[in-house]
Structure 1
Amino acid sequence: MRDALSRDLEAARYAADRAFRQYDAADPANRLMASELEARWNRALAHAAEVEGKIAMHDAATPAPIADPASLGVLASNLKTVWDAPTTDARLKKRIVRTLVHEVVADIDDAASEIVLIVHWVGGAHSELRLPKRRRGQRNSTSADIIQAVRQLVLIASDNLIAGLLNRNGLKTGNGNRWTRERVTSMRSSYHLPVFKPADDGIEPWLNLSNAAKLLKIAPKTLRLAAEAGEIEAFHPLSDGPWIFARASLITTAAQSIAERARQNPRYPTGSHPNQQSLFSSTT
């Protein structure tokens, strides 16, 4: 029935368009002909509107398909995977929300300074969410831990690389967005953090783990273990991110001692022989 009405509507719209073209091409001086063609055009438009009305009545009378409970169960068990999938666009997410959520009622708890959201799920269940109410003039600020991490990362990394590192560690902006190069640049500007600039003479004052180990001529793992044990000064701003060493700390007695011990044990440059005492207090 719906398909037949759709075909009727297509034909009616074609007839209306054809009638308009005939009317538009008629000689205005021939009033009788122009009047007749205008009447045909109006009848064609009325017929198209009538078919559109029938389709609207048909759609309103047709009950919405009821989702299969088994299909909903599968969706529920894989909802996070479906939601986070790169192929899931905004349209599909909206369909999921419309399928699962009946309505959301918002209220304000002035005493707690919170926004209260009551989610009425399809099926009758309810959930309450509370969000901090933003005060007038208040801005969502970036976490102090992120600011400190960026303060250290700019010693060796560009804004684009910093954005990737922050995202890899699951960190968000103050507004809950993913980091981009532009957002890192804006954040730096807001908190007066410097931008990374390669040294003009190529002698960088700050080095990552690989370059620092290359300078000492030891394996990166050896240097990392020493840094974790506190035997050499280094920064590690993010759990899944680079180690940062000052070039000055790599010429100290402690650094040279680490390099010398590694050279004395060339067969096991990244760790001690099982029968020897560990070079470092930490092996994790």
Structure 2
Amino acid sequence: MNAPARLHPLETRTEKLQSRHLERLAVVYIRQSSMGQVLHHQESTKLQYSLVDMARRLGWAAERILTIDEDLGMSGASAQGRHGFQRLLAEVALDHVGIVLGVEMSRLARSNRDWHQLLELCARFGTLIGDLDGMYDPSLYNDRLLLGLKGTMSEAELHILRQRLQQGKLQKAHRGELAKPVPTGYLRTPAGDVVLDPDEEVRAVVHFIFHTFRRLGSVAGVLRVLAQRGMRIGVRMRTGPDIGTLEWRRPHRNMVVNVLRNPIYGGAYVYGRRGTDPRKQQPGRPATGRTPLLPPAKWQVCLPGQMPAYIEWEEYLRNQARLDANRAGAEGSGPVREGSALLSGLVACGKCNYRMSVQYGKARNGKRYARYVCAHDATTYGGAVCSTVTAPALDRVVAALALEALAPAALEVSLKVAREVEGERAERESLWQKRLERARYEAQRAERQYHAVEPENRLVARTLERQWEEKLAAVRTLEEEYHRQQQHLPRHLTAAEQETIRRLAQDVPRLWTAESTSVADRKTLLRLLIERVDVTAHDDSERVDVVVHWAGGQQTPTQMARPVGRLNQLARHKDLLERIRTLRRQGLTVEQIAEALNKEGWKTPTQRSPFNERLVRAMVHRHGAPARGPRPVPSDAPDAWWLADLARELNMPVITLYGWIRRGWLKSASVKGQRVAYADRKELARLKKLRERQLRFRSATRTQESRA
């Protein structure tokens, strides 16, 4: 007698199955986490597809069974990118599904958010859920509780698996044995060791990037130099049939940043430089969004000295601090930028402690001007500008202090400059020689391939001949470019030239003001000496308090005068007006008043241009002044009279005196470009009588003319 067939647990618990469920679809959901499981774990796939037969035995017709297998090879950690699961939710929400069948709950979802969303829809539309353990109705409390526990266990299982894998990787990383892709300039041997790239040109380009950044201090500057010299960065292919092949690529910003940021160049093995942010996950991918680079203090593993290095670890840390300062905006000085303002990024407002930005504009005369502006309150809160200082005035004051501080070290600076010039030439020459050597090798290789083919095989010979010609043309082009570049390379300094530099170093101000010294050079020098310049501008005057914070921690306070727009903004504008009135009472002309003010050291509101006739006349007219008194006679001629004063004394026009001088009636001379007449008391009495006779003669003449 044959034993009865053994029933599946799902078939023994059919009391929850009703006719309304059979009227709707039976959905068999099939999923495996990766394509590797699909290829190598086929028994699991067959077990999931066998649920179709289970649905037939439960009473569903073959055409009423829907198989959803679109998520094969997809992780269940999230519903994003799983089109099959999203289709399942849509079918349940449309009230098309009577039961959902799966081998286990982890096949449906490993996230409680997605799992409870499915349970909520199934409970609302009366959809059953079945797995290898039995059949459940999500609308019943006990079944809902059990399904919730299964979903929680499924999510916890995924967490445990990930934690085990992560801990295994972390333990291996702590020993420095976790293999990671190496950047340009490095190569991983078949044994797993990391070594410097055997290609000299690849290593030379990496060294050049660090040397240029050490000199310029910005990524943009390094990239600009690489582009100007037509340099390429060698990259080893990591995937594909050409894995390990060297490919020369045009440098771009991210490549330069990756070289400067990667700690392997400082000789350190590092793991965990980035964190993960689930909010940045992308559709179809797990939640492994990459955050910005973490600071070294938060790296999970950092083992200095484990890798062959291009630079010292201390220099790597300085480079990171410099890159961070370049990105700090208003909080940091930033890199050396274009523009005439020498202290851009270094000036801070003494009132609110915010960095002052640089603004460039055009004056009325068409020339560009620069000024430092504290506009934090204006840009952030819509308030008013805190203070402004013209850039040239502040630059002159700070540059003078810097030159004074630099004078004792002038000789050392000159020698360092000479060494840098020689080093730059040697480095550029080495790079060019490596490029030429590579191009010549390619041409020789093409030549050997051409000579190795049989001459009769013209089908191959023509192709190899064309390739040979192309390589020769590339060599010729590169050599021509090399000779052009040689004209711009800094030449070797002779002993006499070095001695000249030493002599010039004793006169640092001349080097500072020389035409060959660029604005960028001056900015770089100031950044090496100065950390910050605090500027406090007094709103009611031209006075500005300046405090220079040197790199060594010392401070130098000083005071300067800034240009202002109005006379009443000068601290001593009342004293200036009183001085002008005093000189006016003494009989001085506006030209003489302007000359006297300039000699006495008075400053105009602009602080740049001296007093002149136009400015003094405008000030006298605008602010009022007493009538001009008689001008003093020349000191070397006590009997001399200015013609205007003598005409006033004789009560006659000045033009009449000029007529007397032409007729010889009045003795005169030219003093300081002006006409002076000479008349003592006796001569003055004679002139008065002459004036009276002249007036009587004119009166008599008018009387006769009226009678006639």
TM-score (norm: length of structure 2): 0.16
Q: More strand by proportion, 1 or 2?
A: 2
